[in-house]
Homo-oligomer: A and B are copies of this chain.
Amino acid sequence: MKQNVQPKPKRLSRKLTEQKILLAAEDVFALYGYQGAAINTIAELTGLTKQNLLYYFPSKEVLYQKVLENILDLWLDKMALLAQRGDDPKTMIASYIKGKMEISQSHPNGSKVFATEIIQGAPHLKDYLVSHLLPQLEEDVKLINEWIAADKMDPVDPYHLFFMIWASTQTYADFSSQISLALGKEQLAETDFEKATEFLTQLLLKGLGVK
């Protein structure tokens, strides 16, 4: 007879159901924004009733916060220049752009939720940005300034450099509808992301005078 049934192998473990809900929620929040998203829609996508969804997440607000957390956990590493492989500006900047573009490709809806949140003044996010993103940014700014001092690249404003990289990479997730329209495609393909990565890398390394 089974003895080790402590974790209770339900039909679907609670963790797994929560994961399914969170995935569906990310899609719906990306498409309609926080207010526009109906938990009913999320529930249906997951195969639940909305009352049942509220058993797993006690409120829409809590669910949204969880979606944001998941995205941010995934993002934070990639947002750090210092976390990249390599030790010279050239490979690290190239790696940084590549990592950011890969996230735009693999998690476009997470990016959209984040973008909408920032556009609307980051009401659910300001604290997180201050406590997690900003300290990391300061470290990265310091690194850029060291490179400049060591004459490894042109003297530029590090902050605006990061704003430019964030914008130019995230736009392939957030503005994909406009971009695919401009490129005459139903949706962006692998090669589009590769071309974009190549363009940005080339432009930046040359434009920054990276040696």
Contact = CB atoms under 8 A, between A and B. Distances in A.
B119 A199 contact: no
Contacts of A154: 206
A164 interface: yes
A62 interface: no
Contacts of A33: 32-33, 35-36, 116, 120
Contact of A35 (B32, B134, B168): B32
* Count class of interface residues, chain A: 35 or more
Interface of A is mostly: helix
Nearest to A36: B35
A170 B119 CA distance: 11
Interface in A9-47: 30-36
Contacts of A195: 157, 160
A1 interface: no
- A33, A34, A126 — which one has the most chain B CB atoms within 10 A of its CB? A33
Given A182-B134, A195-B157, A119 B116 contact: yes
Given A33-B116, A35-B32, A203-B204, A175 B181 contact: no
A54 interface: no
Nearest to A120: B31
A199 B156 contact: yes
A31 to B, nearest CB: 6
A163 interface: yes
A208 interface: yes
A86 to B, nearest CB: 20
Interface string A114-150: 0110111110001001100110010000000000000
The 7 closest A-B pairs by CB, nearest first: A207-B207, A35-B36, A167-B171, A203-B207, A160-B199, A33-B33, A167-B167
